[in-house]
Amino acid sequence: MEILDKKLQELVALGASYAVNCKPCMEYHRKKAEKAGATMQEMLAAIAVGEKVRNGAHTQAKGFVKDVFGEIECESCFAAGSTCC
């Protein structure tokens, strides 16, 4: 007996695939999730959770830069979409 059914496993995998920016993984797990009976709404909800995880990690990574390099002058490096530095 599995604790998580196949559909839930694939929804978790889909959200994780999004969080790590793996398009082939997302395509694979979307097909598996659909086969397991997941709806579009469920898959998009899983992606939304993955996005929250990814955004949280991104926010923490900005702090790691300051830990490693100290205060830096180019604060625009942390602006959304910035290619500075």
68 three-class SS: helix
Q: Is residue 51 part of a domain?
A: yes
* Domain around 37: 6-78
27-55: burial string, b at 16+ Cβ within 10 Å, e else: eebbebbeeeebeeebbeebbebbeeebe
pTM of the predicted model as reported, rounded to 2 decimal places? 0.73
The answer to whether residue 84 sits within a structural domain is no
CATH code of the domain containing 59: 1.20.1290.10
Nearest CA among 14, 3, 65 for reference residue 38:
14
Residue 13 lies in a domain: yes
Q: pLDDT 10s digit of each residue in the chain, 85 long? A: 589 999 999 999 999 999 999 999 999 999 999 999 999 999 999 999 999 999 988 888 888 888 888 877 655 555 555 555 4
- Number of domains comprising the chain: 1
